[in-house]
Amino acid sequence: MACSNIIVTGGAGFIGSNFVHWVVDNQPGVHVTVLDALTYAGNKENLAGIPEERMTFVHGDICDAALLEGLVPDADAIVHFAAESHNDNSIADPAPFIRTNVEGTFQLLEAARKHGTRFHHISTDEVYGDLALDDPARFTEETPYHPSSPYSSSKASSDLLVRAWHRTYGVPITISNCSNNYGPRQHIEKFIPRQITNILCGIRPKLYGDGQNVRDWIHTEDHSSAVWTILTKGQLGETYLIGADGERNNLDVLRAILERMGKEPDDFDWVRDRPGHDRRYAIDSAKLQRELGWRPQHTDFSLGLDDTIRWYADNEDWWRSAKDAVEAKYAAQGQ
């Protein structure tokens, strides 16, 4: 479908802002309206450099039905990134996750239903629970849901709402469930940027549990191109998994960061594990590649990691003011 005017919820966050940059850089005829509440994870600076004529920024809450009524009628599509997304925070206080991820998705779906607006929902592989470390299987679109945390449960709930609004009301939807994104502009509470900024600050990095937990990493630019492909070519009502065959355990990722930043591979501290910590995620993106012709471009994790380290080193003003508070919060949790 043609999309010349899209709403991107959560467009000042990590993967949302990277998607906005990707669209502006690669789709010259598209205007983007960013709707973001600018919670701690949203940063308007993430949108710096985007020409004013290509983007409109709206500071607001996706739960605000009246606000949505003023935006959605003029849009060809809603691309829904907005979410509370940090597992540790969901364990400490689940309430914001239910409000944003469930109620917020409901309000957006109601607006899309009223105006017949195309709706693409960004979700996570965490809705599927986890896999055993020695299991050769990977998640597919047919994998049963088995969420482990308040965060993943709230995302599973929102996925089910999206499917119900398609089946019951005919809302033109697609869903994508993605593996762990990495790249520039990611909040420093997350695994890779926390380790990088710790080293830049002279703080010894910390690693949960035994470090064997496996995540399936994808560069955020590859995620952005996949989302656009699904938005414009995907079959309505379908779910597509986005991944780039990037399985690595946390210990190996941390050691790669340490070595690239001139440190010894064991120059870190072990800390107690997160409650209910999922062991392994792994995405099979064969359906997306086979049916829509998408392919990842950033398949060399080492190069992507080098670029990410360079970005945080070159953009200290972007993250420095939040660093002390993030580390104080983790210290209070013994992590």
Q: Which residues are catalytic?
A: 125-126, 151
Listed in sequence order, the residues at least 6 apart from 25 whose beta carbon sits closer than 8 Å to its beta carbon are none
Contact between 236 and 77 (Cβ < 8 Å): no
What's the token pair of residue 72? 């959605």
What's the token pair of residue 259? 């070595």
173, β-bridge pairs = 119
d(CA 107, CA 35) in angstroms, rounded, equals 13
Listed in sequence order, the residues at least 6 apart from 252 whose beta carbon sits closer than 8 Å to its beta carbon are none
Q: Which residue has the tokens 């449960």?
A: 153
Cα distances (angstroms) measured from residue 124 to each of 74, 102, 219, 275, 282:
28, 14, 15, 19, 11
Q: Which residue has the tokens 């086979």?
A: 290
Instruction: Name the DSSP letter for residue 52.
Output: G
Residues constituting the chain? 335
**First CA to last CA across the chain, in angstroms?**
46
Identify the CA nearest to 140 among candidates 127, 157, 151, 149: 127
d(CA 188, CA 194) in angstroms, rounded, equals 5
- The amino acid occupying position 198 is N
What's the token pair of residue 217? 């990493």
Identify the CA nearest to 40 among candidates 7, 13, 8, 67: 13
